[in-house]
Chains A and B, each alone.
Chain A
């Protein structure tokens, strides 16, 4: 096996590899909303387009989409229903209504991002996601463990943090869980998506700086605190981001997978 890989090596790919190891570093993201349809998928798409490894989940018990009236939502099961099947079902039900309220447009976008809505609580952290090659943002996400979880609503953040407490952190891997309050409509989701990418860029920049600087410097048991590292800079980066996006209140904690 090693021999086979050795044959594949060439100067060009080696330089490319070096490039990836140094400046090509990408933080891995996870976006979470209630139904894994609107806000988390907008974030998923934007992050994937910005070349970040990304996965997305919903924390609700079921996928709920608006129906003809407020008391008749369209309800689907997580992990078992594809965006495509929901799209086709709603299109058959009432194409005018669901085109007019933007659902078909949203589902049409989602079905080219990944197969279907996934539930956070059912997700086994660290299970390799090698079967998701066609998902957007799957490159770099093969190990199935993100560095940053971004939720789009306070109660989703609560659900995520509570679920992580419940799981008992078997992987011993730190994760920054950040909430950004985004209203659940298409327009605000779009604004939120931009804000998420802005935050991702800011965080990734800090992480990249850490990898470059600390790589050159040596660890000094006494005075290392002089150089701020990525984890420490997260609240600072978030605070600066909040100044740029005052309409999207945020919450942050460091939790464990």
Chain B
């Protein structure tokens, strides 16, 4: 403290005055802190300090006061009404400070800033309180004073003047209502009624236009004073966005401004900063507008301007850019200390050659040094898991590492082979144990082609691993080497199939046919109409295609093989019959039929199409069988009856699919239609049954007679169904009902009634 006092002798010499000023500053500082903490004191404190900071006060106090006024009039914590109170109260002091003939620049700068905040508030005040002309007169005086000192003032004051002018323009032009409602930004010409006693909107707007021109002058002059240009550009955005009348004027001026004019002058550090600032600020302003208002009619021009600007800047700073690029490259080549590349330093593992002595086959293929891993028996894992792990590993494995491993193993085998050959020359070849002999090692080695793709190498390794015997040491070295050296491998003969196993396998195979159905997609509804008669059965790989395949496998795959006795296919057949017990056998086709039947009945309403398709295939196959006279089994009638039986028990009155099913399947028989009679026992399904039959009568002439016979039978057997059946019979078989009723006297009807009830 003492050192401070001595180091500033001027302050010490002016002791008497300094103490009072310093004291006051301290008090004022405390007061400011108080209002910051408790904004409700603003009104009292601002009014309280006014006498202390007036035009006659010492400079330090005037500076403090002007900055405090600027801060208080701008603070966002006060509501508009509080702001109005304070604003009206400070105008007099503000005017006094601004009028000071030789005022300090810092005081002026803060006072103009305070006036900028005060202006819209004062305008709003006078709009609503036109009687209070005094405050508006003061505000007008402040305005004209500021506009007068604007041009000749030091730069910091001019900055504030630009901002003041911007606030005047903002307040005195028509708004589009897009601005935020705070800080008085929303005060605009819209608020001034046309018949206001003091304010004339047209005059105010004209003044605003003039001020905007004056603001834009700095851009029109293509000034290189970055400070003024930046300050102007950075306060134009809200005008352009929210005051439509100013938008074109501003944009045209900015688009004609060349921020890179300075580039022609010698490049000092300061000019570099200035050029960059002018260019970047202009670009930010324009891109900001582009982003906020992409539909602006001028956006095309703005876009072009921005692109041109970026190109020019790139040219100007080209040299610097290139230097930087080089520096970056250098940095990259030395590596970033924080982000070291892991790949480069990844250690490539080495494969130690096998030592002398006996080795297990697993030992030959073991690459890891980890004892725990070496002891691990992969055979413990379920096969599907192993497969998954292998596939994943192979997919992500680095090719180089795989090559390294393969060649390492090859070297080991070569050395083993060499050792084995030497031993074999010395010793008697041992008996080869087919179960433990390595698979095709010799051929493997001889046939090895370096050009093989890694995938094949991988497969070879996997095959070998798969066939690796459980880990147990092989026979003594001689045996091992002999085994390695010799032994063409023959596949063990397949197990003979007995009928039971074959049947089971058939069923499994059939079941697997149905697995994909749950995951396959429904065929697109779009392409269905196009297919028509030219469609290919199974070319789209969707569910329909798969079902076509399934139905054909069921009907045709083994047709003629497991068919009846004798016929052209008897050569194969008799062989099979020698092996299989025909009685116990269920053919593959029948297994598939069984599953297809179950599959359709699971959701028969939606799968009726599949049923039709299946029956078509059965029918077609039966026709082929008949034509060949092979005497094979016929399936169509059986399957159709079974299906109808299957879903008739679930049918309800709404199931029109029955009609469709009967109409679409290729052949109808009496027994099949006879099934419909059962429906007539239930009054709710009578209509469905009869309508379906009527449809057949009308639309399928070949079966008309059978269908009518069925209707007649229904008429005879089910009394409840008589009215409807009679209606159809009258039309399609005239005379039938009459002939029956005529004979009714004879006693047949009672019998019928008995059946019906």
Contact = CB atoms under 8 A, between A and B. Distances in A.
* Chains A and B form a bound pair: yes
A254 B117 contact: no
B116 interface: yes
B102 A21 contact: no
Nearest to B59: A215
A162 B160 contact: no
Interface in A122-163: 124-128, 130, 142-143, 145, 158, 161-162
Interface in B210-233: 226-227, 230-231
Interface string A214-257: 11001111101101011110111011101100000111111110
Given A5-B27, A15-B1, A170-B182, A231 B237 contact: no
Main secondary structure of the interface of B (DSSP, over half): helix
A249 B226 CA distance: 18
Given A2-B27, A21-B60, A22-B11, A219 B103 contact: yes
A254 B1 contact: no
A3 to B, nearest CB: 10
Main secondary structure of the interface of A (DSSP, over half): helix
Nearest to B230: A254
Nearest to A124: B76
A18 B205 CA distance: 47
Interface in B252-287: 268-274, 276-277, 280-281, 284-285, 287
Contacts of B183: 168, 170-171
B155 A231 contact: yes
B18 A174 contact: no
A170 B149 CA distance: 23
A216 to B, nearest CB: 9
A1 interface: yes
Contact of B149 (A9, A173, A221): A221
Contact of A214 (B105, B182, B227): B105
Interface in B142-161: 149, 152-156, 159-160
Contacts, number: 231
Contacts of A252: 273, 276-277
Interface stretch (B32-40, B535-543, B581-589, B602-610): B32-40
Interface stretch (B67-75, B429-437, B452-460): B67-75
Contacts of B268: 239
Interface residues of B, number: 89
A127 B78 CA distance: 10
B235 interface: yes
B19 interface: yes
B8 interface: yes
B632 interface: no
B317 to A, nearest CB: 10
Given A158-B284, A169-B235, A229-B156, A251 B22 contact: no
Nearest to A170: B183
Interface string B475-493: 0000000000000000000
Kindly name the residue among B5, B77, B227, B231 whose own CB sees the greatest number of chain A CB atoms within 10 A.
B227
Nearest to A223: B152
Contact of A239 (B238, B270, B292): B270
Interface in A1-19: 1-2, 5-6, 8-9, 11-19
A218 B160 contact: no
Given A5-B31, A142-B33, A15 B270 contact: no
B237 A168 contact: yes
A164 interface: yes
B59 to A, nearest CB: 6
A173 B37 contact: no
Interface of A: 1-2, 5-6, 8-9, 11-19, 21-23, 124-128, 130, 142-143, 145, 158, 161-162, 164-174, 185-187, 210-211, 214-215, 218-222, 224-225, 227, 229-232, 234-236, 238-240, 242-243, 249-256
Given A15-B5, A220-B102, A256-B231, 11 more contacts: A1-B34, A5-B26, A161-B284, A167-B180, A170-B182, A221-B149, A231-B159, A239-B269, A240-B269, A254-B231, A256-B235
15 contacts: A17-B29, A23-B8, A126-B76, A142-B32, A158-B284, A166-B288, A172-B116, A172-B163, A174-B163, A214-B104, A219-B102, A224-B152, A231-B159, A251-B277, A254-B230
